[in-house]
Chains A and B, each alone.
Chain A
Amino acid sequence: MTPPGLTAPPVLLHHAPTAGLAVDSSPGGMFSYFSDHRDEVLNWLGYHAWLSAVPVLAGLLIALPLGWLARRYRWTYPPLVTAAGVLYTIPSIALFVAMPELIGTQILDPINVAVALTVYTVALLVRVVADGLAAVPEDVAQAATAMGLTRRQRLLKVELPLAVPVIAAGVRVAVVANVSLVAVAGTIGVPNLGQLFTTGFQLSVGNPYYPPITLGIVLCVLLALVLDLLVVGATRLVTPWRRAVGGS
């Protein structure tokens, strides 16, 4: 991670074949910056994607039973939702730093970030799951009971499928929020796209040096878009009935 070409002369060559000779310090220089650091940046992108997606899945798996609990036993709803809200107000950087203390890992272990982001996802989704399960129309819930579905069958065959659109909306928020939270973890040295911002900051001593920063922003946005599209696509796959309503 040697800061590239600080002293290099400002040659106007955008795709300089010689690595390590970043030259354009304007935001547009990110292309040459990318081709110069392709392996490293792609590696960070991979980590970033992994750190954004996996905690959402893990968080969803934990939020589902918690949300169900909040719905099933109404008295647990206020404490659960309030606790989730409080968790979400903990600054992410603090949580990343405190995590090794809490779960006994190394300070730069990506697991810290994964666990912390899982906590945020759970905080975000508990309420969404509880509200989604509650959104089943009264007559539908009643018909399900009257036809002899057991409580468990009603949950799995009726309430959960009907809550998918609501839960999916929450997952979209969580996944996009995670992409930016992961970047914060980059600033404390965890390998991901956030490192581009640290690098850019370090290289900006004296003159601003934008290429890594711009590249980081663009890749984060693209990653967020792709992950969001994946969630939307998966949701559409499991809710054919919603499309039918509009397209009839």
Chain B
Amino acid sequence: MIRFESVSKKYPDGTLAVDELDLVAPSGRITVLVGPSGCGKTTSLRMINRMIEPTDGRIWLDDRDTASVPTHELRRGIGYVIQHAGLFPHRTVVDNITTVPELLGQDKKRARARAMELMERVGLPAQLAKRYPAQLSGGQQQRVGVARALAADPPVMLMDEPFSAVDPVVRAQLQNEFLRLQGELGKTIVFVTHDIDEAIKLGDQVAVLRVGGHLAQLASPADLLAAPADTFVAEFVGRDRGYRALGFAGAGRLPLHHEHSVALGSGLGEAREAGVDGWVLVTDAEERPQGWLRTDRLADAASGETVVQEQLNLGGTLASENATLREALDSALSSPSGRGVIVDGSGLLLGTVTASEVLARIEQQRVAADGPSVRRTGAGEAS
């Protein structure tokens, strides 16, 4: 657990970067600090490992006052990941990863073995071990950065916009793997970003900071979307919050319709027969949905042609049987037939659901929760 106790940072020129911040980052959880530039989020992060010294207040690591620990000792026990990874260009990947174990005087052979294991864990092929950072892509460098931060198995990790320098596709990948990794490791993580979507995706709790280093709201992502504490938070959280909030509510057991599907390679005649409202769902031989086929424009059934991949409309997204409301609704909205495809854990077709059915479920849940389903949290801790 990391605890900020009325922590302030005031620069000699009078700038107040952080103003009496009280905040607890619980053990084993991801706490995201988010806010516009100048809100003191990075300053707050760096005060934890004393890259920046607070001018007032205390920061506790469990029951240790960080100010009472020598800085280098404190820092070796805290993993740190930054935007451009900050790898040492003159050291190989494996030497970068073993930096902290080496500082701690750990056995070299064991440290290297652990480094190789970590590389695998963060999705880096073992043959990259002897490469230098400049030989890696940005995404790979960032993975090395994460592995390096984890090398000495610190209970606490600080991450300063670690994924913002890579392209959106790689970023989404890294975020997903980060969540998977955190699921396995359960570190106490403080994560800084300016991207509210990233905050909502990754955070167990999100602290929204406003310029001048004030905590505007501390809440779970769902609560943040459902009940912003003030207009600043509401504006910062942005549009589509109602829709995005659906991402935090399970859809439960939806009323599925049986969908008559055809397999790839079936005759066009059969496909036309099976079509409902001009569309038929096409699956592979194991009944995994592949896409939709428009049946009202199909050529003469007698032609002997068969259903091929190139004919399919791939617009529809799939939702799993334990999808969130957002995924279920998106599945229906994105489907060219208006019928959202639901699959089981191994991707096999279960049935379809319409948008109005998902909306009915949303209404049901709202009524069941008796009004707004959220507690207001954080507002009282803001000052």
Contact = CB atoms under 8 A, between A and B. Distances in A.
To the question of whether A and B form a pair in one complex, the answer is: yes
Given A143-B82, A244-B131, A245-B135, A148 B90 contact: no
Interface stretch (B70-78, B340-348, B357-365): B70-78
11 contacts: A137-B86, A139-B82, A139-B84, A140-B86, A142-B82, A143-B145, A148-B77, A148-B100, A161-B90, A162-B88, A241-B89
A153 B103 contact: yes
B276 to A, nearest CB: 55
B88 A244 contact: no
Interface residues of B, number: 32
A82 interface: no
Contacts of A158: 88, 90
B134 A248 contact: yes
Interface residue tally of chain A, by bracket?
20 to 34
B49 interface: yes
Contact of B131 (A139, A153, A161, A248): A248
B224 to A, nearest CB: 29
A244 B133 CA distance: 9
Given A147-B76, A148-B74, A148-B75, A139 B86 contact: yes
Interface in A92-145: 137, 139-140, 142-145
Contacts of B82: 139, 142-143, 146
A147 B80 contact: yes
Contact of B134 (A143, A144, A245): A245
Interface string A70-83: 00000000000000
Interface string A145-159: 111111001000010
A239 interface: yes
B53 to A, nearest CB: 13
Contacts of A139: 82-86
Interface of A: 137, 139-140, 142-150, 153, 158, 161-162, 239, 241, 244-245, 248
Given A162-B90, A244-B134, A149 B72 contact: yes
Contact of B72 (A148, A161, A162, A241): A148
Interface of B: 49, 51, 71-78, 80, 82-92, 99-100, 103, 131-132, 134-135, 145, 148, 158
Q: Which of B76, B85, B90 counts the most chain A CB atoms within 10 A?
A: B90
A148 B76 contact: yes
A221 B330 CA distance: 76
Given A241-B132, A244-B132, A245-B135, A148 B89 contact: no
B86 A248 contact: no
Given A147-B75, A148-B72, 16 more contacts: A139-B85, A140-B87, A144-B86, A145-B75, A146-B51, A146-B82, A148-B74, A148-B103, A149-B103, A161-B90, A241-B91, A241-B134, A244-B131, A244-B132, A244-B134, A248-B134
Given A149-B72, A241-B134, A143 B87 contact: yes
